[in-house]
Each structure stands twice: as structure tokens, then as C-alpha cells.
């Protein structure tokens, strides 16, 4: 339930035992009843604060720190990279923003790009723009709705039916601060779209990725996380349940889950000795449509400062592009990249029980058996 609904309900709350007690009990007993009622109300509001408002405060403080860092540090300059003829890449959410810039850059180097997105009109438009810029570009659009696990499975079937290799998978698509809602399978929207959809997509494509990689040119999975993971919290005993819905908490949780997934996937790939690596990227605060669901006043404030402090989509995509294609990163998976360099992550990302726990839980939620796992 949204805190906006809970607030007026709480103001109208009048415990029946309080009303009856005042008329039949003495002053001492009445004070005790009122004290108990007040204690319960305080407990109620503490839960609401911890579940709904504290995550928002943490997220905005993290955002402020990122903006200050971007103001101080120069954007990463992408080195010159070799042509990528013969390579096939899938980029989710590649119709705009970071995904579009990643697709455009890869296509300019000769890679065959499959843009995966929900909106066909936007997908066709993105393909057209890239081809107008580079007439030799090999780029296409295929429909994928990450809010539907059935759509994810259908997308993978279409890819495998064509018999194409797959060298690069960029898990880029995301939603942020959307109103409370559910995916087709009933998962909270941020968790389902940002995390579970990409989790299933990656594992269903693992065999193709592994068979396409080779020594000296391993395949790569690049997953976009965020500094917001630092405000995320995952409780395995209540992963999908909260006292009230907080879009801020849900977004941070999804980005933490993606980071845990990327890291644990790398560990499994290393144990198997497969020619495939996995890493996570934080693109920073980038001027894209990701923030379109914020409150009107917040959007106005963002518009005012975005051109000064936010990175451009091209700058945000540079580290994604680098980790996906740089020959210096062969077999160098498992890291968390930001602005062209590796960075430390929050302490809970190093918890092996949390790694294993969310992996197993996610497999159950998407209906995967052990045979699909590396």
C-alpha cells in the first residue's frame, strides 16, 4: 500500500478499546490505554518510515554524491577499439538513451546488433536512425517485453531459431520510480523488469553465449547496475513482500539484485572454465528518459541541472561499450565498473549466502531448473 493512502487512514484511526475505556475506567487505566495506543501508532509510523521514506532519503543522498563526483571527475574517454565484424550483440532497451548509444557505437564498428525492446515503433525508428548514419550498419529490432517472462522465452526462441551466434549481451533496459504495479506474473514492477526479466534472458541465452566464445575472444555479459545498489536491501525471507510500496526502495533493490547476479554468474562461469565473462557497469547519472516518472517538481529541478551535471547518453554508454569490447578485459569478469575504472561495492554484495540465496530464489521464481545454470 502506498504511504499516501496510509497517511489519511492513520489520521482517522480511533481504537475502539480507547473509547470504551474512557467511559468505564478510571484515570489511571485510561492513561495506560492511551499510552498503549500511542505506542502502537508510533510503531506503525516507524515501520512506514523505514519501509517507505528512508529508502528515498538514501537514494537522493547517493544521487547528490554522484553528482558531486561527476562535477569533479572528467568523463571517461573511450580508447580506439578494433572493428567487430562477425560479432553479434543483443542490447535490451536499445531504442533510446544509453542503450541506443551502445547499439550505435557497436554498429559503427561492424558488429551485428539486435535491439531488444517493447515498443516496435521506437525500435524501427532507432534502426532507421542508425542505418541513416551508417549505411553498412547491421542492426535490427526484435520485440521483448521484460515485464512478461513468456515474452522473454519467446524472444530467446526466435533468436535460437535463427541459429545466430551471440558474443555480447548488454542488459541495459530499466524502469525507475514507476507507480506501484505488477508484471504479468505478479512480481513488483522494478524487480520484475529490471532484474528477473534479465535474469531469465541471460540464463536462457547462456549456452549460445558459451558456444560463441573462444579463447582470446570470450563472449561477454554486461549488466547495468547503479550506485543506487548501495541503498538497496534484500531480505531473502521476505524478498517480494514489504509493509508498504516504495518505488525508491524497489528500484534500489532491483539494482542490488542485478549486481549480485552479475557477480555470482562470473563465479559460476570461472568454475566451469567457460569462454564467457560477466561484469556490472554503473553509467552514472545520465540525461535520459529514465527519470520521467518522478514528481513534476523533481522533473523540473532535474531539467534545470541535467545539462550542467548529468552525463550525456554517449558518455554514459562509454564504459558499457568499453567493458563489452575492450581486448584488455579478456577473462577479466566479475568487476563493478564506473567511469572507465573498477570500484568497490556495498558490503552486502560480498555476502556469499546472499549471492546463493537470491540466485536460487530467482531460479524458482522464473521456473528454471539446474540444467539451465552454468
- CB proximity list for 127: less than 8 A, separation 6 or greater: 115, 139, 140, 141
Query: Residue 184 CA to chain centroid, in angstroms?
Result: 18
d(CA 312, CA 76) in angstroms, rounded, equals 12
d(CA 285, CA 311) in angstroms, rounded, equals 6
Concerning whether 322 is annotated as a catalytic residue, the answer is: no
d(CA 127, CA 122) in angstroms, rounded, equals 9
Cell reading at 142 = 526484435
Q: What are phi and psi of 143, to 5 degrees?
A: -75, 135
d(CA 71, CA 239) in angstroms, rounded, equals 36
| 138-143 vs 341-342, strand pairing mode | unpaired
Active-site residue (options: 251, 291, 322, 350): 251
Cell reading at 10 = 492513520
> What are the helix and strand counts (H, E) for the chain?
13, 8
CB 65 within 8 A of CB 258: no
CA distances from 56 to 8, 61, 62, 224, 273 (A): 20, 9, 10, 21, 41
Positions marked active-site: 251
Amino acid at each position: 500500500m502506498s504511504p499516501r493512502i496510509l497517511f489519511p487512514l492513520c489520521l482517522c484511526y480511533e481504537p475502539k478499546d480507547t473509547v470504551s475505556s474512557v467511559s468505564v475506567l478510571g484515570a489511571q487505566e485510561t492513561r495506560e490505554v492511551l499510552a498503549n495506543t500511542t505506542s502502537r501508532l508510533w510503531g506503525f509510523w516507524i515501520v512506514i518510515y523505514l519501509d517507505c521514506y528512508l529508502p528515498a532519503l538514501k537514494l537522493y543522498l547517493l544521487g547528490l554524491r554522484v553528482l558531486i563526483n561527476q562535477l569533479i571527475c572528467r568523463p571517461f574517454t573511450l580508447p580506439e577499439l578494433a572493428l567487430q565484424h562477425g560479432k553479434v550483440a543483443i542490447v535490451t532497451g536499445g531504442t533510446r538513451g544509453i542503450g541506443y548509444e551502445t547499439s550505435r557505437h557497436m554498429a559503427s564498428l561492424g558488429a551485428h546488433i539486435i535491439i531488444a525492446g517493447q515498443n516496435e515503433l521506437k525500435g524501427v525508428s532507432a534502426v532507421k536512425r542508425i542505418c541513416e548514419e551508417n549505411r553498412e550498419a547491421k542492426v535490427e529490432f526484435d520485440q521483448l517485453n521484460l515485464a512478461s517472462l513468456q515474452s522473454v522465452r519467446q524472444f530467446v526462441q526466435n533468436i535460437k531459431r535463427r541459429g545466430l551466434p551471440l558474443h555480447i549481451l548488454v542488459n541495459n533496459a530499466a524502469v525507475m520510480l514507476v507507480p506501484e504495479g505488477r508484471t504479468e506474473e505478479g512480481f513488483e514492477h522494478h524487480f520484475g523488469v529490471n532484474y528477473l526479466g534479465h535474469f531469465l534472458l541471460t540464463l536462457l541465452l547462456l549456452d549460445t553465449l558459451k558456444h560463441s566464445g573462444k579463447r582470446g575472444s570470450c563472449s561477454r555479459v554486461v549488466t547495468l547496475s547503479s550506485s543506487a545498489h548501495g541503498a538497496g536491501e534484500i531480505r531473502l525471507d521476505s524478498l517480494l513482500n514489504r509493509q508498504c510500496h516504495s518505488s525508491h526502495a524497489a528500484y534500489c533493490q532491483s539494482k542490488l539484485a542485478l549486481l549480485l547476479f552479475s557477480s555470482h554468474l562470473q563465479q559460476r562461469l570461472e568454475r566451469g572454465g567457460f569462454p564467457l565473462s560477466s561484469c556490472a557497469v554503473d553509467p552514472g547519472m545520465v540525461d535520459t528518459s529514465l527519470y520521467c516518472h518522478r514528481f513534476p517538481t523533481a522533473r523540473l529541478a532535474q531539467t534545470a541541472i541535467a545539462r550542467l551535471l548529468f552525463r550525456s547518453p554517449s558518455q554514459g554508454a562509454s564504459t558499457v561499450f568499453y567493458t563489452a569490447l575492450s581486448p584488455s578485459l579478456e577473462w577479466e569478469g566479475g568487476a563493478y565498473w564506473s567511469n572507465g575504472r573498477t570500484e568497490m561495492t556495498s558490503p552486502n554484495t560480498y555476502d556469499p549466502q546472499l549471492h546463493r540465496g537470491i540466485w536460487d530464489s530467482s531460479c524458482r521464481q522464473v521456473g528454471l531448473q539446474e540444467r539451465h545454470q552454468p
